[in-house]
Amino acid sequence: MMRIYEMGKIKDEEIFARSEDTRSVTETVASILKDVKENGDAALRKYALQFDNAVIHDFRVSEEEINEALAKVEPSFLKILEEAADNIRRYHEHQKRSDFVVTDRDGQMLGQRVIPLEKVGIYVPGGTAAYPSTVLMDSIPAKVAGVRRIVMVTPCKEEGISPYILAAAKTAGIDEIYKTGGAQAIAALAYGTESIPAVDKIVGPGNAFVAEAKKQVFGKVGIDMVAGPSEVLVLADESADPSWVAADLLSQAEHDRMASAVLVTDSLQLAEAVQTEIEVQLKKLVREDIARTSIENNGKIIVARNLMEGVEAANRIAPEHLEICTEHPFDLLPSIRNAGSVFLGKYDPEPVGDYFAGMNHTLPTSGTARFASPLSVDDFVKKMQFSYYTEDALKRDYQKVAEFADNEGLTAHERAVRIRFEKI
């Protein structure tokens, strides 16, 4: 049963604790990365058979396989994919940055260019569930940014790749798809193999092995983030419907046994009603076992003395998803500092953002919303700065630059500016 705590009687370590996956994956992942780096496709084939019971001959998904997948997907769902893609594209178009040039002083020009990354790898999970939404969320911002080559990898089970994942890839305009998953897929994207090209950056969620692999290859390539288990925090007052709140909490709990679902409220009556409703709804879930484990291990209901105390708790927890289910949600929004994505009002449950609204669902977890942001167009571009000085402009500033260099003891730096105007 989901436990209820009073804010003044619960310790910080109980409020903010996140259950961690204690499996030791570091050495296993390091071994897999080394194997793929040294043995390429042969290692990928070995792991496909070992982990997915799949025999892979050609890693790249063919156009014929994509078309066969499309034929298996309901036309109504294809239309939903198209509409969701349009929503995601429209939202992310507003994130595009422009080059700029500053010429505030005579003879001096400073500027910045915004340049799309050349090659990006997208990891799409295919373990306990298939996520076509991840395909859209991770690839469309890259397309908007202008990335020239998007390489998608996803596990191929004995029965093949989910047709819904391939349909989402087609909708997003991705046609370079490879049949590999897990830490070995991350290795392939980082180092390249005979079949799979090395990329400049890897994005996308995955299990503990995928997250650890991304961590270990960072530096060789860029990564979006090291994502932990899913999280939701619902901030609610007495006006909230307990059955709706319970449903919203369970929508994240069913993701993963390590997921975290938290209710913060100023109403003890709501807290008790939600606690009861959670038990009622758990029994109706297909993934009851996963959701129940999540709720019992990581779920909690915190009763605050007032909503502002609840807001402060939310800011300290810094959840991946924050729902504000109160009578006047916009009144609280200015006080929210730390959250991956905020859902306002009683008719904006988190799954709307997961699939359809248009904002991104690849979000900072494990409290990293204190300093990190949702996946965006910014993740698929780099900035390059440039400058230009005329002779007169440098003559105006060179002695100041030389003095700065001298202060730091870098005489070659000092010489590089003085030599243009003084005999040295």
- Which of 114-128, 171-185, 357-371 is predicted least confidently? 114-128
Q: Can you give the pLDDT at residue 127?
A: 64
In this prediction, residues 90-102 reach a mean pLDDT of 97
Indicate if the pLDDT at residue 46 is higher than 80.
yes
Confidence of residue 134 (pLDDT cuts 50, 70, 90): very high
In this prediction, residues 315-333 reach a mean pLDDT of 97
List pLDDT tens digits, range 200-235: 999 999 999 999 999 999 999 999 999 889 999 999
Confidence of residue 80 (pLDDT cuts 50, 70, 90): very high
Q: How much of the chain is helix, strand and coil, in % rounded to 5?
A: 45, 15, 35
Provide DSSP, 89-156.
HHHHHTT----EEE--STTEEEEEEEEE-SEEEEE---SSS--HHHHHHHHHHHHHHT-SEEEEEE--
Q: Can you give the pLDDT at residue 17?
A: 62
Q: Can you give the pLDDT at residue 386?
A: 98
Q: Can you give the pLDDT at residue 22?
A: 47
Confidence of residue 241 (pLDDT cuts 50, 70, 90): very high
In this prediction, residues 18-40 reach a mean pLDDT of 85
Confidence of residue 23 (pLDDT cuts 50, 70, 90): low
Query: Is 0.85 topped by the overall pTM?
Result: yes
- CB within 8 Å of 221: residues ≥ 6 apart: 121, 189, 190, 198, 199, 200, 201, 202
Eight-state DSSP code of residue 157: B
Confidence of residue 24 (pLDDT cuts 50, 70, 90): confident
3-class secondary structure per residue, 232-245: EEEEECCCCCHHHH
Assigned token pair, 181? 């998953």
Q: Can you give the pLDDT at residue 8?
A: 78
Q: Which of 230, 247, 206 is CA-nearest to residue 320?
A: 230
In this prediction, residues 345-370 reach a mean pLDDT of 96
List pLDDT tens digits, range 146-163: 999 999 999 998 889 999
Indicate if the pLDDT at residue 12 is higher than 90.
no
Q: Can you give the pLDDT at residue 10?
A: 75
CA distances from 335 to 172, 225, 323, 326, 355 (A): 36, 26, 14, 14, 27
In this prediction, residues 314-321 reach a mean pLDDT of 96
The residues annotated as belonging to the active site are 320-321
For 316, list phi and psi in degrees, rounded to 5.
-75, -35
Computed over every residue of the chain, the mean pLDDT equals 95
Percent of the chain with pLDDT over 90: 91
Q: Higher pLDDT residue, 350 or 126?
A: 350
